[in-house]
Structure 1
């Protein structure tokens, strides 16, 4: 059967009739291969965050955080197909660049026309950007660490991505978005991904309240990570995936993509060393693995809005400043008295804001120009004597924080007043652990786990006595220390 593809791509709608038109002729094959590869790399970050969160938690809650990562992939994938992509990247917007239309509702006409990034088709760009929505979602649900009911979490995630993330992403990345039109620079998600998720997690943690702590009656509860190995594995997945996160955000396979990969790696390395050295002098003169991993993630967050705009030497400064800033920002949860047990706000909310401001200082027109003919020109930042740029960056930061905090608060407070959407576990469920109370499965074989059952006989001679479910730190039948190194008293239930 002969194929006669003599049609001309239309550039609109589906891009043309695929039975008579070769839609691929509009695009460079190398660009499409790189963006598709990058999307797969970003997907790996979602279970990576699950591993990281699981390792940082107590083991009776560890499986629920792995569950949350796969749940987020599923819920956000459906939301992105249903209307998420259309609300962010429709080819026209409403409200002067506030939100997209439902042009692509249910992926209608998402096929071969050029996307908002004209170097790739809509179907590929939708695949790539859907991964960013997933990463934002799993970061945000980290604010619910160890005390949220899971069904309301699913409902909240779907609604939050729709009415919080989608508008902010449209403002920033849609060509008609009001922040893009204003001139704010955000290469790969300092605002939509990190500032948004960090402040969303902070509000989630605030409204849920502190975890029940039988020892620390006041202040913020502190628990040792139950598995540093999982923390390291999660960090490895994140660092690896971030090359797609930042490298793919170039939208093509030009020098700019590889330049941003180098900046990404260097910033993460410098931030990891910075955090570890600060912790060495602040806490017991130990070269902590968790500190090294936390610093690397802080550096990855800080370079995200900047990677395709700033010189490589600036990534060293960004890594050091972000690593130090996020390290000290961890103490803010004690000042605010908000139990953000996974430090999502300190790493992502604060780190994203620092990176965004530094983008306004170090953005260079010649770095952006390494995209060649596929370049969208910029005026640069302070090093190009474009002094207004930091003002644009601050406007973007403030607008993202305000929208995220106000809308997230309203959404959670309304949901919590609907009986079947009550947000928090009951005290006895929280004591048992999210895994036992909500999932019925466990990360590890819990041979000594005692789950109460009805006593069916008045003869108590043969009734098994309860054993420890979990102590204050998350290890069965052992005493341990909190994060400050002070001994804690074992709590037996």
Structure 2
């Protein structure tokens, strides 16, 4: 038996039919369903991947707190998505163009009918896959708390931010009733909701938190480059599900998106490594990880739109632009310690603008669903450039303002102050917020003097916390 939809969906009920008397599976290809389910699991792997990446970039005394923040932030996002997030982003009955209603509250009436965005998978699967996007986005934002943010307020922030920022951004461009969708914006897998949303939100969160103390920034370097590399590889693996299955089926557009993602990643890594080599005259593992991530981010909005050859200059451009964008935090005096804005916000913008020039109709039509669509300048659609620019400005402006307001309001609520004390920063977030440690010897160190009390002629052992390499920008803290 051929694995294909044998029956066209009849559209009789909101849930697809009565599953007691009707086989709701007959409307969908088993291959498409299986592919999107596996891809959803791949996208989820990106959440712990971010935790490992952020953990390696921080000092060891705050390493575990960032894993906790990513995992719990992503978990809160998944619950929010079930609770009302999916309805606010993808409700088919709200027509205001900005945000959905509560028609699908608690995934009510979400089952076997196809969603408005694609006929290839049932809405319940569509909702799960999109929920993983929300989880990853919130986990990215959690990097903004690095080494100075309290965890419980960050968890509350996750729920509120997903509701007031992520859901509207997703509704704008992916809901057929959204204003950006109707305006003709080309955003394949989340240059606006995921990348600009997380990168700009991380910058706003860092601004409200304030800078780390200068004495704690002397010779600041990541403590574990192996963890950074592991996190990056997990992210790359998950990104192939993130970008590939945004075609919502096991089709040629999915294959094309995966190819574009890989090409953009490797070309960005080449560019980033060369730029850092010119400064240090040595190759950097952090630099190659930075390049991979900037390329994958740039491919997120573009991988399902642009020809393969366009991914090569896209990767090089993303690597160069994002490398230099790591200096922005010094210009605006915001301690974006993990370079969320440079790696995600700027790279997302590059990918969105790339669509204006290089999006091609034949690439879009490879999914067999979006036929007769127009791309960008390759299809002589010169209007697309200002459409993409308007969308970028709207996403960035809305995200920064609303995120900053959320942070300022939470800061005024007792028990929800975002920043830890200076004493807690010196001890490390693991000791202050977690009570557990990523490395045993950090805990052993606390009792060292109790085991070996110094004599009158001996000095006190200093805090052995070393400083290591820089943040995602590799050599950027050094110049």
Structure-to-structure mapping, 1:309-388, within 5 angstroms: 309-372=305-368, 374-388=369-383
State the TM-score, normalized to the length of structure 1: 0.90
Write the distance in 1 (CA, Å) between the matches of 2:72 and 2:125.
23
May I ask how many residue pairs the two structures share in their alignment?
463
Match for 2:429 among 412, 415, 434?
Answer: 434
Question: Aligned in 2, Cα 1:90/1:388: closer, same or farther, shift over 3 Å?
Answer: same
- Matching of residue 289 in structure 1 with residue 285 in structure 2: yes
Q: Deviations over 1:321-342 (max 9, x none)?
A: 0110000000111111111110
Write the distance in 1 (CA, Å) between the matches of 2:362 and 2:355.
14
Contact 2:99 2:167 in 1 (8 A): yes
Contiguous gaps of at least 5 residues in structure 2: 1-6
Question: Aligned in 2, Cα 1:295/1:484: closer, same or farther, shift over 3 Å?
Answer: closer
State the TM-score, normalized to the length of structure 2: 0.92
Return 9-18 or 168-177, whichever deviates more. Answer: 9-18
Write the distance in 1 (CA, Å) between the matches of 2:156 and 2:447.
28
Deviation at 1:98, TM superposition (A): 0.7
Deviation at 1:451, TM superposition (A): 7.2
Q: Which has the higher helix share?
A: 2
Return 242-251 or 28-37, whichever deviates more. Answer: 28-37
Question: Aligned in 2, Cα 1:309/1:11: closer, same or farther, shift over 3 Å?
Answer: farther
Deviation at 1:447, TM superposition (A): 5.0
Contact 1:84 1:162 in 2 (8 A): yes
Q: Which runs of 4+ in 1 moved over 6 A?
A: 459-462
Q: Which residue of 1 aligns with 2:170?
A: 169
Write the distance in 2 (CA, Å) between the matches of 1:485 and 1:286.
16
Q: Deviations over 1:264-316 (max 9, x none)?
A: 101101000110011111x2111111001100100000111011111000011
Deviation at 1:461, TM superposition (A): 8.3
Q: Which residue of 1 aligns with 2:3?
A: none
Write the distance in 2 (CA, Å) between the matches of 1:485 and 1:206.
18
Q: Which residue of 1 aligns with 2:415?
A: 420
- Matching of residue 89 in structure 1 with residue 90 in structure 2: yes
RMSD: 2.4
Contact 1:63 1:442 in 2 (8 A): yes
- Matching of residue 444 in structure 1 with residue 439 in structure 2: yes
Per the alignment, in what secondary structure is the counterpart of residue 304 of structure 1? Answer: helix
Match for 1:261 among 254, 258, 261?
Answer: 258
Contiguous gaps of at least 5 residues in structure 1: 1-5, 476-481, 487-493
Q: Which residue of 2 aligns with 1:473?
A: 467
Structure-to-structure mapping, 1:26-65, within 5 angstroms: 26-65=27-66
Question: Aligned in 2, Cα 1:111/1:222: closer, same or farther, shift over 3 Å?
Answer: farther
Write the distance in 2 (CA, Å) between the matches of 1:447 and 1:145.
20
Question: Aligned in 2, Cα 1:357/1:468: closer, same or farther, shift over 3 Å?
Answer: same
- Matching of residue 239 in structure 1 with residue 240 in structure 2: no
Deviation at 1:118, TM superposition (A): 2.0
Q: Which residue of 1 aligns with 2:133?
A: 132
Write the distance in 2 (CA, Å) between the matches of 1:112 and 1:280.
53
Q: Deviations over 1:412-457 (max 9, x none)?
A: 111101121111000001110000001000000125432799x9xx
